[in-house]
Structure 1
Amino acid sequence: MGLTSEEVRKRIDNGQTNHTDISTQKTVGQIVKSNLLTYFNLIFLILTVLLCIVGSFRNLTFLPVIIGNTVIGIFQELRAKKTLDKMSMLNAPHSIVVRDGEQQQIQSEELVKDDIIILSAGNQICADATVLSGSISVNEALLTGESDEIKKKSGDGLMSGSFVVSGQCYAKLDKVGNESYISQLTAQAKAMGDGEQSEMIRYINKLVKWVGIIIIPVGIILFCQAYIMNGETFKKSVVSMVAAVLGMIPEGLYLLTTVALALSTIRLAKKQVLLHDMKSIETLARVDVLCVDKTGTITEPGMQVTELVISGRCGDAEMDKRAFAHLLADYSAVIEDNNATMEAIRAYVAKNEIEKGSRTLLKTQPFTSANKYSKVSFVEGDYMLGAPEFIMKDRYEEISGEIEEYQSKGYRVLLMAESGEDSIGSVRPLGGISPIGYIVLSNPIRENAESTFTYFKEQGVAIKVISGDNPATVSEVAKRAGIDGAENYVDASTLASEKDITEAVDKYTVFGRVTPKQKQLIVRALQKQKHTVAMTGDGVNDILAMKDADCSIAMASGSEAAAQAAQTVLLDSDFGRMPYVVFEGRQVVNNIQRSASLFLVKNIFSLLMAIFSAIFAITYPLEPSQISLISMFTIGLPGFLLALEPNRDRIEGNFMVNVMLKALPAGLTDVLSVGALVICGQVFNLPSEDIATAGTMLLAVVGFMIIIKISHPFNKMKYGVLLINIIGLLFCGLFLGRLFAIESISNICFLLMVVFAFAAESMFRYLTLFVEKLSSFFGDEKNRRKIRRKIRKYNIFK
């Protein structure tokens, strides 16, 4: 009878409907607010207000970069939210429900708890339920990764999101709406994490954090010193303080990183690779463990008939491969099954243009997961097709030797047999069974799978195969794909605890019979061992692991929900694209790493120059517009242009250490040369405007020195970058001098600038050599061990 109208109304009033309201945790307003109301935007707002108060509008040249950073940050998060909000794991808009004793079709969202629904072949189960009467076969591969169909009878539970393959039943809804399994899975998939997964972004954030702590006291000290101790005007004190603070903030580094990643995203899109999260390209370039699924990654999504084999036990002397193929054509034409196996057989018949025979149909018995075979009765005889052990039963040993060879290689083998007695409708065959032949099926290995896995092996990336299928079968498939260590496999159903999984990830390459939760635990266990983990998948059962992985990759041919949850989507479902994605990631990371050193030169100089000014009681010598000019032509523009250069070198070392080692010599050279120029200017009583202009020119000279240093070996592109920036700097200095506070300077000031420029060249060269030697010394493991022994011996830190 189902629920009455009154019972339905009560449940609707109590909110027990199948409507889901799961969206990403952040609203649009929260995203905009979180990007606008940041600590550094507050600092920049205060600096802007101060410059406006004192009327120094020309020094607001830093604002476009700040606005660009904020707008891009908002756009990225809104795009990620839009993608996740569209995610849907259910595609069951209507359901047949029994209410007041009558069947009616309603929207699935209008169902309520305890409703009685009718499920039949092709339906997706829209809420967690229990079978009341009847029986169905369901496919839970989308949720569990297990490809076998599961028989459900009265009293058995049904998971929302699974599909009905055959049969019909009445089911009672237990958990609806947000409480259902599929809704809880969706909620986890839609969670927008705040933690950065990119090492590069993580180190940039650390740098910004420390700068944020330092700039407040330094700014206050510099202002007080200039205004109170040195007797400067309020305007001059504010401008010099702002210049020092601006120089210490790497505001352009975020913009460089974002633009470089965005350009890579465009290049990858042309190669049929979609990035939902731009930072994933860097993470993928650093991955040292790649977790892959069997189906859709190593193999093609569908199945194919590899071979037809006549059984040695076949009693029909006239039966050969040709006759067997014609029998198979007749069988596949009349059987009602539409599973992957039968589709592969029909595709084989069509591809080889096998004509149907003249057999006359009597009855059919579709495949069921309980029987593991289907049956067709023709006037000419009764035939069975399915799992050999289920058809032969006690006589399986008679043919086991013939099929073990294929099963050991990872193939799936079906038996075609003739039944000596009509048994249509019975659960077990009654008559004698006569084997005819075998259909050897396989998930074809992707054409470029072996070369792709060979590449990852050469790059030191370990492969872990995680699948819901039989571990022995997965192992054989992995061997054929050329995965190193594929013979080491384990049945994940034997791994009872997280400790077991942690131990297993060290010992095994192939994991079979893995549940979605276990996939997630495997990823976490690898991360605890300090691995950078990428996870590929194509089904809902992969989503939890993909969300936890450092980088997630989905095949577009798989579940739409998996594609929406992943950071990277292979639009043509070609795993062979992965090496190209890694190459692209290396180009981005290596080039940003090189360009970031230019930004850090300014930060090191500004910090040390501020300390120098405080110690020697002098006013910070530069203006914000002059810092902006130097930043534009010796940092920002060359950094962006150099980031476009092809670079496929392996990523080595720590991002921040590499950047600091490149930036430190130039930063020290800037401080020493500009500091000496300021001291000499005071000795010769030169105007502060002359010193500021000469200091700007000196910084430009050292800036071009480091550009030349990091650009080796030179090519046409790098010569072009250098020339463009020199011309740009000269143009701004000559024609936009007032905007950037570039004044004409006295002869003695010009002479001092030239002398210190020549001195800076030698200073930069020797400081670079010293830092490289120091880096080489501490980079040697033997030297590090010696230092550690001395620390322990003399208890230095005690």
Structure 2
Amino acid sequence: MAVAKKNTVPRRTSRSLSAIIRANVFTFFNLVIGVLWALILIFGQWQDSLFGLVIVANSMIGIVQELRAKRTLDRLAVVNEAPVTVRRDGRDELVHPEEIALGDVILLGPGDRVLVDGEVVAAQGLEIDESLLTGEADPVHKKPGDQMLSGSFAVAGSGAFVATKVGEDAYAAVLTRQASRFSLAHSDLRDGVAKFIKYITWLVIPIGALLIYSQLRHNEDFGSAITGAVAGIVTMIPEGLVLMTSIAFAVGVVRLGQRDALVQELPAIEGLARVDVLCVDKTGTLTAGGMDVDEVIPLRQDAPVGSALAALAHADPRPNATAQAIQACYPEAPGWTSTDIVPFSSARKWSGATFDGHGTWSLGAPDVLLPPGTQEYGTAATLAATGARVVALCRTENREPVALITLKQRIRPDARETLKYFAEQGVTVKVISGDNPDAVSAIATYLDIPGGDRAVDARTLPSDDDEKLAEILESHTVFGRVTPQQKRLFVAALQSRGHTVAMTGDGVNDVLALKDADLGIAMGAGSPATKAVAQVVLLDNKFASLPEVVAEGRRVLANIERVSNLFLTKTFYAIALSLVVGVLGMVFPFAPRHSTLVNALTIGVPALFLALGPTAERSLPGFVPRVLRFAVPAGLITGAGVILSFSAAGGDRTAAVVTLFLVTWWVLILIARPLNAWKIMLVGAMAILFALALAIPFTRAFFELGTGGWTAVGISAAAAAGISIAVKLTGTLRT
């Protein structure tokens, strides 16, 4: 008997082990450093080949950190995968997505993802959103015989379909894999680092050639010429910049994973740091999941209110939170037979059903079902103003209001403190809800959200004037009766004003906005479709986790900018030195062993700590020009100081090394600002280690160092002062 094909698709939340090793070992800079290392071993002294250990260190550290991130991601991805309901042998059972087999009957409800292709066999008001495949936002009504494509999701109703294509044969297998893929691409920060590397590569080739030529002409000893040329070329290469960037991102992923936050795309780390507007839905974000029926207010004494509510709630095979609350209040169905059902959808704001012998009934938003100006409409508005969720029960034939039902929502106890954090961090919170504006306003006011008392009814907003919409969004913070399509427009309008927008949500009505936001954040208890399109999933389902998540993103980007300043300052002083030495035909001021010592103490070791240290800075646009405004003047002044000290000391390399250390140590202090206890200890330790290298006979002999002299110290002080003035004038001095 043949075994049915299973829905086996390789998990792509992170790179494979072989891909991680290749990415960290076979790099351009490793190749260049490897060649230079071989030249030193052949023609120079072994003490000058220490820089070759950078290849091993970079590769090992990068591999270990990314493997840690991979294990964290793979573990969380399994937790995040929602089970699928299938019908086998007449019984419904939950199975893992990979256990779906050809011929399985898969059941669907609102928010469920379509993971495989198939043919509809049953449908009760089933509406499928295929926007991820077609770009069309309007849901598609499905009936028996219609085709289902993977990559879509249910927004309303319920149904079932038979799996006809599974695994990699499914229509959107690639798309659905990428929906939960750990990506290393499409990052402004990584693109910025790549630009640095590209431009530096083009500079290294001609300048390196000039340096080799000048050293061969100046030195009679071929080994000394090669050593001098290698010293300049190695120093020009920012060999640790890509490594530190990768480490900072990987550690960020691990730290967020430890807080039960699944990062599904690496650029989400970057987005976390740049967010300045956070759009939140009231239900599921400010309020906890689930509701309780508080009061049923009959409007017609002769109407079977309880039976109608129970019939409507129990008629829906996949009830939403409102229907579940009514079911809990009326656990017994009245036995009415439904002949037609219109399931609830966020776009309609109501649901309904026709019952044989009992007429047609609808349940939904009072301001949608009830005529404005009526007494019942006013009563519902008054109740909503207290913060209660209000729904109306109506006879659909004549729109006759029969009852108003109020439901208690549970405000998250940590919501107030979380909102306060964002206010302190300069992040504007916009409450965007499909509920009644008065109800949303009441909760926003209770939570002290600025402008909470001025809620806007989204039905009054312009639909064809993007500029006007953006103006209203800038001046108001609370919006009610927002449709799923409007949420998407809101995100676009805010982005048009230059904002970096994060969107949180848990319901299927949030999917489009989550997909378009700069950063989509889904709750762990949200619908599978919502979690599929979000870049970050809060598996603990806690709104209070957001501050930690945002803080982690800010830490990563601010620290990467710090270490970029360090590495590129080194690159620019090496370029300046190499050009001067090449043009004038001088001996290079220091040997590779000297640059290894200074770079380790002022860049390598400090960068590792700075890349992982805590910070609350919010990342700003303009990463590349801001780094260049710091690194170019700092590098040029450092290079000038080293040349001046070398020349003043009559070609004494120790003087050049002392100047190089003192000036780059001062650059380290400027980059580490604002200084605190651990940073002071870090820069102090580096100074002590250099002093020991000068003082201990063994290390002094190993690195061929003398005393350096006070002239080198004086020139270093002048160069440090010049750098301080330069970075102050360019606006890159940290306070």
Q: TM-score w.r.t. structure 1 length?
A: 0.70
Structure 1 pair 610–393 and aligned structure 2 pair: CA distance change class (3 A): closer
Flag the 1:607–1:53 CA change in 2: closer, same or farther, 3 A. same
Post-superposition offset of 1:671? 2.3
Within the candidate set 379, 382, 400, 1:402 is matched to 379
Whether the 8 Å CA contact 2:505–2:521 is kept in 1: the answer is yes
Are positions 1:439 and 2:426 aligned together? no
**What is the distance in 2 between the residues matched to 1:246 and 1:597?**
18
Give 1:676's match in structure 2, choosing from 616, 626, 644: 644
Partner deviation per Cα, 1:580-608 (whole Å, 9 max, x = no partner): 33334444444443454333332222111
Partner of 2:685: 724
Answer yes or no: is the 8 Å Cα contact 1:492–1:513 preserved in 2. no
Q: 2:30 aligns with which of 24, 31, 41?
A: 41
What pairs up with 1:177-188 in 2 under 5 angstroms? 183=173, 185-188=175-178
> Which moved further from structure 2: 289-298 or 48-57?
289-298
Deviations 1:314-349 (A, max 9, x none): 369xx9xxxx99x99999999997723343246679
Which residue of structure 2 lines up, in the alignment, with residue 370 of structure 1? 342
Q: Within 2, Cα distance between the matches of 1:455 and 1:216?
A: 49
Matched, 1:289 2:270: no
1:266-665 superposed matches below 5 A? 268-269=256-257, 271-275=259-263, 280-305=268-293, 307-311=294-298, 313-314=300-301, 339=319, 340-345=321-326, 363-365=335-337, 369-370=341-342, 372=351, 386-387=363-364, 399-406=376-383, 412-414=389-391, 435=402, 438-441=404-407, 444-449=410-415, 452-453=418-419, 455-456=421-422, 459-463=425-429, 469=434, 479=444, 482=449, 487-488=455-456, 490=458, 504=469, 507-508=472-473, 512-514=482-484, 530-538=498-506, 549-559=517-527, 563=531, 566-642=534-610, 646-651=614-619, 654-663=622-631
What is the DSSP-based 3-state SS (H/G/I as helix, E as strand, rest coil) of the residue aligned with 2:220? coil
Q: Distance in 2 between matches of 1:281 and 1:728?
A: 35
Aligned to 1:232: 220
Structure with bigger gyration radius? 1
Indicate the SS of the match to 1:250.
coil
- Deviation larger for 669-678 or 239-248: 669-678
Change (3 A) 1:250 1:471: farther
Match of 1:754 among 710, 719, 729: 710
| Partner of residue 198 from structure 2, selected from 199, 209, 231 | 209
Distance 1:181 1:597 in 2: 46
Matches within 5 A, 1:106-121: 108-111=100-103
Deviation at 1:207, TM superposition (A): 2.0
Deviations for 1:190-243, whole angstroms, at most 9, x for unmatched residues?
5665534243x443332222111111111111111111x213322212221121
Alpha-carbon distance in structure 2 between the residues aligned to 1:604 and 1:490: 54
Runs (5+) with no aligned partner, structure 1: 99-105, 350-355, 418-426, 778-798
The percent of aligned pairs where both chains have the same amino acid is 29
700 and 300 in structure 1: CA distance in 2 versus 1, 3 angstrom threshold = same
Residues 131, 158 of structure 1: 8 Å contact kept: yes
Unmatched segments (≥5 aa) in structure 2: 91-97, 133-137, 344-350
Q: Give CA deviations for 1:54-73 in whole Å, capped at 9, x if unaligned.
A: 25333333344434444555
Asked if the contact 2:312/2:353 (under 8 Å) is kept, the reply is: no
SS in 2 for 1:438: strand
User: Following the alignment from structure 2 to structure 1, what is the Cα–Cα distance between the partners of residues 558 and 366?
Assistant: 57
| CA gap 1:361/1:213 in 2 versus in 1, 3 angstroms | closer
Distance 2:83 2:130 in 1: 12
| Structure 2 CA distance for aligned equivalents of residues 491 and 66 of structure 1 | 61
CA distance in 2, matches of 1:503, 1:600: 44
Using the alignment, how far apart are the partners of 1:583 and 1:217 within structure 2? Answer: 42
Q: Which amino acid is 1:217 matched to?
A: P
**1:195 equivalent among 176, 185, 198:** 185
SS in 2 for 1:61: helix
In structure 2, the CA distance between the partners of 1:571 and 1:741, relative to structure 1 (3 Å rule), is: same
From the superposition, tell whether residues 36 and 546 of structure 1 become closer, same or farther in structure 2 (CA, over 3 Å): farther
Shift of 1:546: 5.0
Deviation at 1:164, TM superposition (A): 11
CA contact (8 A) 1:276 1:567 kept: yes
Tell me by how many angstroms 1:440 deviates. Answer: 1.0
Aligned equivalents of 1:93 and 1:333: distance in 2? Answer: 21
Name the SS for the 2:341 alignment partner. Answer: coil
SS at match of 1:756: helix
Describe the superposition over 1:534-561 as per-residue Cα deviations: whole angstroms up to 9, x where unpaired. Answer: 3434467766765665434232222467
* Distance (whole Å) between structure 1 residues aligned to residue 302 and residue 41 of structure 2: 99
Inter-CA distance 671–383: structure 2 relative to 1 (3 Å threshold): closer
Q: CA deviation at 1:614?
A: 1.5
**CA separation in 1, counterparts of 2:401 and 2:489?**
47
Match of 1:242 in 2: 230
Offset at residue 142 of structure 1 (A):
12
- Mapped to 2, the partners of 1:595 and 1:490 lie a distance apart of 46
Cα RMSD of the aligned pairs, angstroms, is 5.5
Q: 1:546 to 1:730 in 2, by over 3 A?
A: farther
Q: 1:262 to 1:177 in 2, by over 3 A?
A: closer
Give a deviation string over 1:477-527, Cα, whole Å, max 9, x none.
8855637587446469996xxx97788556547583325xx8778767765
Give the TM-score, by structure 2 length: 0.75
Question: How many Å apart are 1:20 and its aligned residue?
Answer: 6.4
Shift of 1:635: 2.3
Q: How many angstroms does 1:758 deviate by?
A: 1.6
The AA in structure 2 aligned to 1:606 is A
State the SS of the aligned residue for 1:303: strand
Which residue of the partner structure matches residue 420 of structure 1?
A: none
Residue equivalent to 1:353: none
Task: Report the more deviating stretch, 231-240 or 663-672.
Answer: 663-672
**1:630 Cα deviation (Å)?**
0.5
Q: Deviations over 1:612-646 (max 9, x none)?
A: 11122112121222111111112232344455654
Task: Find the aligned partners of 2:699 and 2:301 in 1 and give their Cα distance.
Answer: 98
Contact 1:638 1:721 in 2 (8 A): yes
- State how many pairs are aligned: 699
- Of the three residues 627, 641, 657, the one matched with 1:696 is 657
Deviations 1:728-750 (A, max 9, x none): 223344558569852253xxxx4
Residue in 2 aligned with 1:768?
A: 724
Once the two structures are superposed, residues 68-109 of structure 1 have per-residue CA deviations (whole angstroms, 9 ceiling, x without a partner) of: 4445555677756857986997744744599xxxxxxx9743
